Chain A
Amino acid sequence: MATRTIAGKTVQVNEEGFMTNPSEWSKEIAVEIAKEEGVGELTPTHWKVIEFCRQDAGNGGKAPTLRRITSVAGVTTKEMFALFPKGPAKKVARISGLGKPEGCV
């Protein structure tokens, strides 16, 4: 298992760069990954989605799919694409320190 340093903290990541231990995540890490992913500054709406995903994943670290986020968290798909352009579910999962959403197999 590979590791990398984000926001001064060393965390475990898989071969696709997703963090594998959600408890290693911090808000500083989220800010840093958001920059890398081209999401930019995180607004309160971004945080609302990130917090929903963290909560929904619980301890298992299983990231919600885009459809789950839009049907449960009260954000529309259109807004999700504006907040996290190009592959919103994958991007928000990465920023939230969760695994890749399992929708795509």
Chain B
Amino acid sequence: MIRFDEVSKTYSRKARPALEGISLEILKGEFVFLVGASGSGKSTLIRMVLREESPTSGEVHVLGQRLKALPSRRVPFFRRNLGVVFQDFRLLNNKTVYENVAFTLQVIGKSRGFISEAVPDVLKVVGLAGKASRLPHELSGGEQQRVAIARAVVNRPPILLADEPTGNLDPSTSAGIMALLARINEGGTTVVMATHEASIVDELQQRVVELDAGVIMRDEAHGSYKRQLADLDDGFDAEEEIA
């Protein structure tokens, strides 16, 4: 589904690469947590899957496509196979819940009939069946994120990418969102979720890929979120202190 081969990314002005020699394979139907401190390269990795960014070196393959070889004008069509959810929801504030979800289908040219069936269905899945005509500001944060998830999966993409989807939510709301993502994953969708919340990772006991300063530190099939000593002390070198 998603494969990274020796991928590195260097931003011109930064001396330290954002990603360095990342090799990673994510299979169909997997649920993968990307964990790590801010700036560890989680978001860059997700943006590369979306082909919002290209690696400085190495290859990224998504859904059998070599992204480097994908011409720009094909990128929109490639993205229709990916659902994306962000920390800040990214809803259109002047459109209702229904319209926000339908908008996705409208812009990719789905028929009116398809939209009028698919949107209520997906709203039921995310538990917002009764709130179709609300505007985003009338909803709680958790509900807004459910709208965003509905929008991401309404087109039944094989891959769902989530970048800190619970970052703005309280723990109990987060749990609801995680349950929803787990259910979507059970339906066969590959889910890749970036987070730095240990409790969420520990609870689901799914595969964990831990990034630190652009390097994969750990890749465990049923891992938990162990924070590195260096992170806790903010760059403080523990070994030297002991010596």
Q: Do A and B bind each other?
A: no
Which residues of A does B touch, CB under 8 Å?
none
